[in-house]
Amino acid sequence: MAPLRSSLLSSVRSSIRSSLRPIVVALAALVAVVTSSPALAQGSAEGLATDDLQQAQAENLRRDLANHLHLRAYDLLDELVYGWTRAPPFATDTAVVVADVTVPFGFGSGLEALLENHLAELILKHPETRVRLAHCPACSQLAVHADKTGTVMSRGIDAPGVLARVGQDSGAQHALFLDVEAEGSALVLRTRITTLDDDLTIVVSKTLSSSTSSAALLRSGDKLVSAEQARREYLDALQQRGPLAIPAKLSLLQFAPPPPELGGIGAVPIVWLQTGAEFNINHARDWSGSVVIGGTYIPQLYNGLMIEARLNRLLTGASASLTQPNLYGFGSVSISTLTGPLALILRDDVPNVADLLASSTGVIVQTTTWPAIGAGVDLRIGNRVGAAFYAQSMPTLAASPGIGRFLDFGLLQVHAIGGEVTLWF
């Protein structure tokens, strides 16, 4: 589409030039002043030559994608070296010069250096490949050689005979060439080992594509395993988590302070200790449900019980990450009962001093039970530790003068907010 766009633009520009030249000159001067800042200059793509625009896009691409790309390329290198550990390319230990590493156009020499270093690291850690890396700085330098047949300028690696004649021979008999190319959504690694003579005959050749391997092999460079084995470990990691988990929670629930005009007494926070069971529907752990029971006891103030059911939904991605924090959203229904002086505050009338005294001395036992619906977010790390924040609506306590509203949606009111810390077993 770019040639069409540029040809259309150029035809428009030429017609403008012929009829409105003075106006265009004035406007161009104005635009030049306005777009002199780098941000605006980047946006004015029409003013740039196609090559400059592509160069700018390539720079953006390199910045945005290099980090992601090198991990996929590492994976292919792991697969390559693992293959060499199973089927070494040489019968005996053989010195090999890393002759050339090329990457997709626009990603620059930084990625090439990363790949070369990773390959060197893998080969050093796996001597069973029988590949020994040899150092050859002259191989990548420009060599000029003149004899009776003519003058040839080339990289040293492209004229190994010349290197040998000028005394720059590395002693290696083979050269390794790596090429990584992006073909659509797949990354393709082409590896070839050539003889280090005037012919550079390819003696070992291997092509690997990311489209034929699993998405994430999670392999460590210290101990390479096959793609199948890595996948099995991955599945084990998924299955070891199991569908059932036992949470232990410490939760703090704070009621909204009452509006001053009602004259109610604000309720103190309720601390709940809870445990129960959580069931994950699938390995992706994107949906899960839980049922917990909880208890609380503060001497002279309140004691109580609660039961709550929750439905959790993963909000960060399609599947829970094994290595990164996961954020869940949840909805809940619960029923709680509280006994003691605090329960007086949850009644529909304002307790007087006599009520409070009678309740604290045990003359009367006040019990309040209420249902609640809630929603919140839960941040979990490794599915072992989590922290949640939630809001609850308690319709039967709406008339209590001791409870206000944090938010009022009309039919739905937020009467309490809470936070909790959870450990899963």
Partner 1 sequence: METLLLFWLSALFLGGDQAHDPIHQAWRGREQTRQLECERIPQAEAHKRFPAEVPATAMRTSTMMELDALVCARRVVPWGTLHPRDEVILSMLGTEVAAIVGGVAGAVPVGSRVVVDVSYPSPQVAQKVAIATRQSLADAGHRVSNLAPLLAAGDVEVLAALTPAEALPVACARLFAEQTLTGTDAFVGVALLRDNETQLHAGLCQKGRWQWLR
| Cβ closest to partner 1, residue 79 vs residue 306 | 79
Write down the least CB distance from residue 129 to partner 1, Å.
19
183 binds partner 1 (CB under 8 A): yes
297 binds partner 1 (CB under 8 A): no
Write down the least CB distance from residue 282 to partner 1, Å.
6
β-bridge mates for residue 94, sequence order: 131
Write down the least CB distance from residue 319 to partner 1, Å.
4
Torsion angle, alpha carbons of 235, 237, 243, 249, to 10: -160
Sole binder of partner 1 in the list 214, 229, 300, 367 (CB under 8 A): 214
For residue 396, report the phi and psi dihedrals to the nearest 5 degrees.
-75, -10
Q: How many residues make contact with partner 1 (CB under 8 A)?
A: 61
185 binds partner 1 (CB under 8 A): yes
Say if residues 404 and 257 touch (Cβ distance below 8 Å): yes
Sole binder of partner 1 in the list 331, 382, 395, 419 (CB under 8 A): 331
User: Residue-wise over 23-60: b if at least 16 C-beta within 10 A, else e?
Assistant: eeeeeeeeeeeeeeeeeeeeeeeeeeeeeebeeeeeee
d(C-alpha 88, C-alpha 81), whole Å = 9
90 binds partner 1 (CB under 8 A): no
d(C-alpha 78, C-alpha 132), whole Å = 17
Angle at 158 between CA 164 and CA 208, to 5 degrees: 125
Name the burial class of residue 133, with classes exposed (0-12), middle (13-18) and buried (19+) by CB atoms within 10 angstroms of its CB: middle
202 binds partner 1 (CB under 8 A): yes
Sole binder of partner 1 in the list 112, 181, 233, 355 (CB under 8 A): 181
**Contact track, partner 1, 46-75, x by CB under 8 A:** --------x--xx--x---x---x--x---
Footprint of partner 1 on this chain (CB under 8 A)? 1-3, 54, 57-58, 61, 65, 69, 72, 102, 104-106, 150, 152, 158, 177, 179, 181-188, 190, 192, 194, 199-202, 205, 207, 209, 214-215, 231, 234-235, 238, 282-284, 286, 313-315, 317-319, 329, 331, 375, 407-410, 412
